[in-house]
Amino acid sequence: MMNKRSSKRHNIFTRITFIVVLCLFVLLMVTMIATLGLTSLIAQHWKVDEDNILLFGTVVLGISIVFGVALSFAYSAIIVKASRPYLEALQKVAEGDFSVRIEDPAVFANFNIAKNFNYMTSQLQSVETLRENFVSDFSHEFKTPISSISGFAKLLKNPDLSVEQRNEYLDVIIDESRRLVELSESVLMLNRLDSTDEIEKDVYSLDEQLRQCVLMFEQQCEEKGLELNVELESLDIKSNYKLLSQVIVNLLSNAVKFTDRGGSIDVTCKTVGLNALISVADTGCGMDEETKSNIFNKFFQGDKSHTTAGNGLGLSIVKKIVDLLDGQIFVDSKPGVGSTFTILLLKGV
């Protein structure tokens, strides 16, 4: 981010310098042309002798130079004065104030310097806001399990606890410790994905990949009494197996988590033109419009009561991976009806 700031600042200074040099160059050219023209006209009108024309031209040139220098200084003063708001704004940005905005004075009206500067600061402000929100949300998510572990660890020091109570407290500590591990792994995953520009892709069977992912949740579905319907068209795809598995597993995990006993989950894949379509649908609790518009944001959880386990990073990872795979993800959901996540990926084969 600092490199981008320095680059923007350098571009602004470059433009200002260019304007000053251009003005001085134009003034010098005007002075020379005016001097030559004026000398010629006066010599012809006053019929100056050839012996004195050099002296006369020198005097006129001297006067013109003095006038040109004075005019150049005047223009330079105007430019420097007009540049002062930019310099002050840059100083504020360097101090971390990204809310600063400026307007172009008349002398710079055609260069869109203020427009570009304001765009830069608005982008920096957005990044800073996201960073602050991320730190705040992460601290909250991290603090909750730590507090639980600390609290139940203190309770375990009570020698009068029954075996049942002791095991119950230990189970809470184990669950919260696992939650911390998952949170750390998710944050690390997001960090790796954010720093990844290109990913390796191989050709493999997409339907077989989905079949393997579904097998991981068969037992959970049986225990919860969920009907698992799988309809997979045989097709190959050129993609990243590991990353796409992360996406599928995450969507299946959410489907199982938010679908009540007796519900159903449908997993399908088929060819749509040059694309492979993957769909994970459930008959769970569904989402309202506000939740749908925020589910891919980091740390956002539609379950405000936090009665279901999670850290709000799963779908952020899903969206990031799908983007890296040059795909698209769509959500169709209604409260009390269920949710359907659809992914479109270019087959590439």
Q: Give the model confidence (pLDDT) of 94-109 as tens digits.
A: 777 778 887 776 656 6
Task: Work out the pLDDT band at 270, boundaries 50, 70, 90.
Answer: very high
- Mean pLDDT of the 120-143 span: 67
- Mean pLDDT of the 334-338 span: 89
* DSSP state, residue 88: H
Q: Within a 13 Å sphere around the CA of 32, how many CA atoms are in the beta-carbon half?
A: 5
Contacts of 321 (CB under 8 A, 6+ apart): 193, 243, 244, 246, 247
Query: Is the CATH number of domain 202-346 1.10.1740.10?
Result: no
Range with the lowest mean pLDDT among 61-65, 184-188, 294-298, 332-336?
61-65
Q: How far apart are CA 45 and CA 70, in angstroms?
A: 28
Q: Give the model confidence (pLDDT) of 134-182 as tens digits.
A: 566 566 667 777 888 888 888 888 888 888 888 888 988 888 888 787 7
Residues in the chain: 349
Q: 210: closest CA among 240, 243, 249, 239? A: 249
Query: Does the predicted TM-score (pTM) go above 0.85?
Result: no
Task: Work out the pLDDT band at 5, boundaries 50, 70, 90.
Answer: very low
- One fold for 126-194 and 202-346: no
Higher-confidence residue: 12 or 148?
148
The residue ranges of every structural domain in the chain are 2-111, 126-194, 202-346
Indicate the CATH number of 126-194 among 1.10.287.130, 3.40.50.300, 3.40.50.1980, 1.10.10.10.
Answer: 1.10.287.130
pLDDT-above-70 percentage for the chain? 65
Higher-confidence residue: 8 or 83?
83
- Mean pLDDT of the 287-297 span: 79
Which pLDDT value is given to residue 255? 92
Phi, psi (rounded to 5 degrees) for 259: -105, 125
- Mean pLDDT of the 271-282 span: 93
